[in-house]
Chains A and B, each alone.
Chain A
Amino acid sequence: MVPPTDVPDLVRSNEGENPTRAFALGLLVRVVVGVLVGVAVVDVLVGAFGGESGARGNASVMTLDPELGWTNVPNYAGDGETTNALGLRSPGIPADAPADEVRVVVCGASNTYGLAERDEDTWAPKLEALLAERAEPAPRVLNGGVQGYSLIQACRRAGRLIDAVEPDLVVVVLFPSRQALVDTSPALTWTRVGEHLVPTELVSAWPEALRGVPAAIHRTLMRSNLYSRYRAKTQFSAGVGPKLSEYILTGSEPPEPIRGPLEETRAELRELVDYAAEQGVELRFVVTVETRGANEEQWRTWLTNGAKNGSPPLDTPMDAPFDALAALIESAGGTPWDLRETLYAMCADWERNVNGRLHWSPTGHTMVAEDWARRIADEGLLETLSTRRAANPREAAPLDAAEGDAGR
């Protein structure tokens, strides 16, 4: 790979001392054509042998997605981890599923997904069992968690799943960590051009009337394996500076670097709230916290380690992030569920309830399932939703619906 330091004789030769224009342009054309062919060959090979490319975390269960950044591989079967045709970590919806069953979908990040735990040990089957005692037909609980998801991604996936599985209740689990914020860089925002959403960075420099051109090029290139993977990677990775990434929400006035992201986040929340209301779907936002911040000792350690990257002052109360995130949700018209007491209780018995990857253990998942079942009962949601669904049964089970085809 290292070039010779002297120019070889071949290059010094006087061949073509006075090149014609046609000679020069001919060489250029041949090089350009060659380069395009070379890139195309790699593109085809990537499509044929590249398989699904993971984005981060447990890569084998994840695949790149041009709009969401990444998502779960459909029909995945690994060691204790399975997904259905929609990439949900739950059994598939059978074709003969009761048309009037109540469906609950929960979207979130790695804790919701159940990182490092077997399917049966995660909150979803436990919540389903708890709800089954209270309604006929038994409600179906679907785990829409994806590792590493930000609030934006969870909201966008929730929007897709409203179309795909026609749920009655959607729950989005949020953490007041960097995943609660989005970067405002243009790579992360979308602009509507005609019928399509296009990354803002691709069209922002173009006049309104001409935006169809880059949008069309973008859509055409999305058929390329290389380009679609590149977009998927940059969509949620580019521009996330270390400073912003470690900011968390506090009750105080947000500092300048996170004001923009907060506004973006609020807008995305509002969009999901409006869409759920339009579709007649109940929507709740669970406000919780990373296990590393759910007891005093962990919280102090996290604040100390994150100090140089913009985390709040060391004397910030442990409750501050909850309050700020709840306020953010309420300001966007959402209804928060405050999971703090359960999380504090969970982390009080750290060894038992938190696994080696700092995520909920099987007993931790049980506590979460019980918390959510209690809230559903307290609000009388199950009865309300059962009644609504009985009056308006689904027409067909979306068993084979391709998640990627369902857009908002």
Chain B
Amino acid sequence: MNFHSISFGVFLALVFALFWLTYRKRNLRTAILAVASYTFYGAFNPLFLGLIGFSTLLDYWCGGVIHRATDERVRKRTLLLSLFANLGLLGFFKYYDWGIENLTWVCTQLGVSPPLETLGIVVPVGISFYTFQTLSYTIDVYRRRMEPARNILDFALFVAFFPQLVAGPIVRAIDFLPQLERPPRLTRARLHDGAYRITLGIAKKVLVADVVGNYLVDPIYQAPEQFPPWLHVLMLYGFMVQIYYDFSGYSDIAIGSARLFGFDLPENFDLPYRTWSIRDFWRRWHITLGAWVRDYVYFPLGGSRGSELRVSFNLMLTMLIIGLWHGANWLWVIFGLMQGVATVIERTYELRSGGKPAGSSRVRVALLWLLLMQFHALTYVCIRAQDMGEAKEILTVFGDERGWQDFPWYVWPALFGGIGIHFVPKAFYRWVHGVFVGMPTVLAGVSAGAVIGVAALLLLGETPFIYFQF
């Protein structure tokens, strides 16, 4: 069930009605959302329910034991059990086949027969997201930063809450569970805000990401030998635009949908292409993943404390984990390492210049921004290409059989507008948002319907969100 489908719209309206009909009864409203979330997830593949159910039961139990136990060894062992089980499942479903492929390659080079075969495993949708969520729960309970979930129903809803289950934002139990305790609020302004975010997300996904993806990026990836180099370059920028609007569009719909039920989810993006700094970029791009890895990987490794070499290692490892979190592929390893190298270079430069940022004048900011855009465009080949061969081909194989006239006109405003919109002052967005939130509800609905209508005009099938695969 894609967010930008009629079926999701009907589903959302039904759950909304049921939830607010029963919202005074805490357990009932929680149960309704939990059942709705499992229904939503089961629509992708009912077999995945077993896996998420197992993770939920295990981590709920682990959280309880860790909290109750007074013996530090018991607490530590239970935490380790949670870590091994969650990371083991993630590792098996996401990385087993890749590991075996690499092992097979090594065995072939050595002239020995490989001991195991790949299993053709289908990666359950959203496993990377909910695994990180459940891990944060047991770790935070272990650190005594929070109480365990009051009951299994609350915890099941935390793990499977349908707006953010499949592709985030990654929500932590410490932020989510307290929201179950207080009665949900519904105001006209909050409802408008939710509708605004949903509409915005649909517009980002269909009017920008899918237009650029379907009509510019995909054709060139499918036949790079037919297009000249300058169109390849535009296509690289195009993918940059596509992935941002695709993922941030999803996040907007998730945040907006959650708000309809009285929940506030954390923001996941903050105009990431506006910055000239790679480190600032990672504070603006997939914010909840960056924060998770910072708190549960980078800081435990030592963070910014220690020698320059040690900090550089911490940064490289953190970025490598971010890369590998996305997928089991050497391209993701390269992506993570490139991000790590860029981060280390920027940090080292600042240290050497006495803490003075690299972008210390307008000209330098502009140049650094341009440089960072090229870096993104280039490194994102690792995200879009299926394998090394395709990545190489897209960067080296050109032709002149087709040109700009082979693309529909609306690709270009979507592409350039998609980047340019980053530089509109934030005050303008606040104004648009304020107008939408303040208008009569019917009029807000009409505005949303108009945007949805225009989106429907450009809709070409239901192109899945890119981050569903992670």
Contacts and interface: CB of A to CB of B under 8 A. Distances in A.
Given A2-B422, A27-B191, A42 B453 contact: yes
A17 B185 contact: yes
Interface string B189-231: 1110101110010011000000000000000001101000000
B188 A16 contact: yes
Contacts of A3: 196-197, 200, 252, 429, 433
B331 interface: no
B186 A11 contact: no
A42 B450 contact: yes
The DSSP consensus for interface residues of chain B is helix
Contacts of B390: 308
Contacts of A21: 20-21
Nearest to A309: B222
Interface in A369-383: none
Contact of A37 (B193, B252, B424, B446): B446
Contact of B446 (A1, A24, A34, A50): A34
B193 A7 contact: yes
Interface in A322-366: none
Contact of A27 (B185, B188, B267): B188
Nearest to B408: A59
Interface in B431-447: 433-434, 437-438, 441-447
Nearest to B440: A30
A31 B439 CA distance: 12
15 contacts: A1-B429, A2-B421, A11-B190, A14-B187, A24-B16, A30-B445, A32-B445, A34-B448, A34-B449, A37-B442, A38-B449, A38-B451, A41-B453, A233-B461, A237-B461
Interface residues of B, number: 63
Interface string A14-39: 11111101011101101111111111
Given A31-B445, A39-B450, A13 B187 contact: yes
B456 A18 contact: no
B145 interface: no
A39 B456 contact: yes
Interface in A232-249: 233-234, 237-239, 242, 245
A322 B23 CA distance: 67
A41 B443 CA distance: 13
B69 interface: no
A42 B437 contact: no
A52 interface: no
A41 B451 CA distance: 11
B421 A8 contact: no
A177 to B, nearest CB: 13
A339 B429 CA distance: 62
Residue among A14, A18, A19, A242 with max Cβ neighbours from chain B (10 Å): A19
A19 B21 CA distance: 10
A42 B21 contact: no
A24 B190 CA distance: 11
Interface string A31-63: 111111111111100100010000000000000
B203 to A, nearest CB: 7
Interface string B155-182: 0000000000000000000000000000
Contacts of B461: 187, 233-234, 237-239
A46 B444 CA distance: 21
Contacts of A2: 248, 269, 271, 421-422, 424, 426, 429
The 3 closest A-B pairs by CB, nearest first: A34-B445, A38-B449, A42-B453
Contact of A15 (B189, B421, B457, B459): B189
